[in-house]
A and B are shown apart, each in its own frame.
Chain A
């Protein structure tokens, strides 16, 4: 009786999400087999996933800490534009050879450093000044975007050297480079969260900051590092974005902020902090991407993405609540397995 119950009792909804993803995949494969299961579709999806994917990981990290990072897209744009300006100045379109490669490498460094700096500002505003994360990052979102607009005077930057465009369009052993970057980020951040003492402490701080303080954890340091991590991930998303489109604009991808929150929440990240897993996040992105690609093929509308994402989020949340309720009922009937301690108060709440 353990296995079927486990599916229903799964607290983070990971198994349910896996089922939902599989059902979506199977349904679309059945409805539009020729096109959904085509190399072209998978290639196109693997170029769409990384940008929102990197931003979602950044969002998830901030949310696990009990906060949020509304400035994610602002960081992506600002750091990307700083890198672009450097790039265009030293290696304009057509530049090649070792020099161009070197300039691209430095510009990537500039972008990631800028991302870390933006994250540091967020972290300091939250910990030193004590502004609630949602307000601190709302402010820095405007600050970073505004700065990006001032730097570009509102125009688009374009014409990057080929060595840079690889980041958004190239292939590594016939796997798209952006997807490789995303996979590396998933792996690294996944290990950081689940298998290091930093990740362990981060989950605790997100669960109960007061208890974390009393346990001797350095909450401020942990939060600052988390926002810096979030900033670096956003900067890498910015690089991929600008490389893919071969242009940099201050207001690119503004709708990504809310979408990243949606992905994180769908993946089981708790808005109140302390919970969230990389596996859930990846499943959430896959299911959303399958759905929006599939719907485009079914010719509902080119703009159905927003609608579909919202609908899926609500459906999965409802499934989680109903599933938990059903599990509790089953557990009640099957007797015996509930932990007896605390049963009295626990069940009544």
Chain B
């Protein structure tokens, strides 16, 4: 069908420490093609793009770029052949300006000893015009929002005369309008015959932008077809190997006399204003809104980290003052933070240590004595209860997958048996299979009478799991939806609009 592919990988195999990461994987990208590479965490996506970038060497198989065959591809070969990878961290220098970041590679390639401001400005100007975006070339990169940093990285790639740009999870930290602009840029690149390999596990974007889709599962390519051959259900099936029913939450809690948690006119200057709602026992309530809508700030206020300055919080009808984390814990509020890796986990510590972090004092016997064995037993107990996939409770939590890590954080909180559990982005970076299991855990907690508050911008997540959904914009709650009566399109429209 297509002309000779620009990039062609044939039967690529790769092992790490005896674990097979890729098994006879094939991938081809035609000039100017927009291809999506999808798969769950651990499916081999990152390994595959690292092989294409020359950062990791394949064990067996063939790599052809633009007709040249490489038995061992080095990063410099990949760059020379026009392959540019934009990793999730963008690899930018935060302390340098936009122009300096863009010009860096070109200047190095020219092997100049002296650098002039003007030369840097000229190079950056060219990149910006190729991109067709407005950016202040003199701004420091660290001051830019994520989306603009990404543009800088793309601009730098274009300057290297890229013919294929690989983007690793490019939309992970973008708002919807920013995602839309990125997808437009990708289409514009196509016009100039620059191909894009878009690595993602966000299905709607994949369906939106791609021409061809390659699906990886457990290191194997399980599907490689034009976009038209897929619908969302089939894509999920390919990625997970099973059909995941997206049933709506059916259990509707009975409303007792007093709500578990009720907020009245809660405000914090610069963060959120006049927030009022009730959460009933056994209810799962969703709060959705874009980045910066105030949902994270609201969660932090409930947990006492950034206390509210006005308004009242009642727990089981009793007014409480939450000025510190200690207050929040004392009043039965728990919080699963947004960023699991930096806020949620002690990465180098064991699963058991991580799970017991909140309950150490209760586990300890007289004199505060806490034998390591007791912690380990506690960890093993939670491995069973939440079906965490781990060889033992003593493995460092760093070695677990995102879904299992999140279960460890959940275990820590469930062990404290809070009345209300606030979860900020409970399944960010968690693959689809684990996602539904984590949702099942939350369902179960609600069924036992806990109040669950999910802060999330993942529309299907709130839609399928929440009884009610509150929409936040610019620090206020602007609308309430009945989880059973609304649909994805309506929510998405209201969220973006």
Contact = CB atoms under 8 A, between A and B. Distances in A.
Interface of A: 191, 194-201, 203-204, 207-208, 210-218, 274-275, 328, 331-348
Interface of B: 16-19, 21, 42, 44, 46-47, 50, 55-56, 305, 325-326, 329, 335, 337, 342-349, 353, 356-358, 360-361, 363-364, 367-372, 375, 389-391, 395, 398-401, 404, 412, 416
Identify the interface centre among A203, A208, A217, A331: most chain B CB within 10 Å of its CB: A208
Given A197-B363, A203-B353, A211-B346, A341 B399 contact: yes
Contacts of A204: 346, 349, 353, 357
B18 A200 contact: no
B376 to A, nearest CB: 12
A214 B399 contact: no
A148 B18 CA distance: 61
Contacts, number: 126
A343 B356 CA distance: 25
Contacts of A217: 357-358
A341 B400 contact: yes
Contacts of A341: 42, 389-390, 399-401, 404
Interface centre among B17, B345, B395 (most CB of A within 10 A): B17
A217 B349 CA distance: 16
Contact of B18 (A198, A215, A335): A335
A53 B301 CA distance: 46
A195 B370 contact: yes
B358 A215 contact: yes
28 contacts: A194-B372, A196-B364, A196-B370, A197-B361, A197-B363, A197-B364, A200-B353, A200-B356, A200-B360, A201-B360, A204-B346, A204-B353, A204-B357, A207-B349, A208-B346, A210-B342, A211-B342, A213-B305, A216-B416, A275-B348, A331-B17, A335-B17, A335-B18, A336-B18, A343-B19, A344-B16, A347-B16, A348-B47
Nearest to B397: A342
Contacts of B305: 213
Contact of A195 (B44, B47, B372, B416): B372
Given A196-B369, A201-B357, A215-B412, 18 more contacts: A196-B367, A196-B370, A197-B360, A200-B353, A204-B349, A207-B347, A210-B342, A211-B342, A216-B326, A217-B358, A274-B346, A337-B18, A341-B42, A341-B389, A343-B17, A344-B42, A344-B47, A347-B17
Contacts of A334: 18
Nearest to B45: A344
B46 to A, nearest CB: 6
Contacts of B329: 216
Nearest to B334: A216
A188 to B, nearest CB: 12
Contacts of B369: 191, 195-196
B349 A198 contact: no
A338 B18 contact: yes
A343 B18 CA distance: 10
Nearest to A215: B357
A34 to B, nearest CB: 43
A213 B55 CA distance: 37
The 3 closest A-B pairs by CB, nearest first: A335-B18, A197-B364, A215-B357
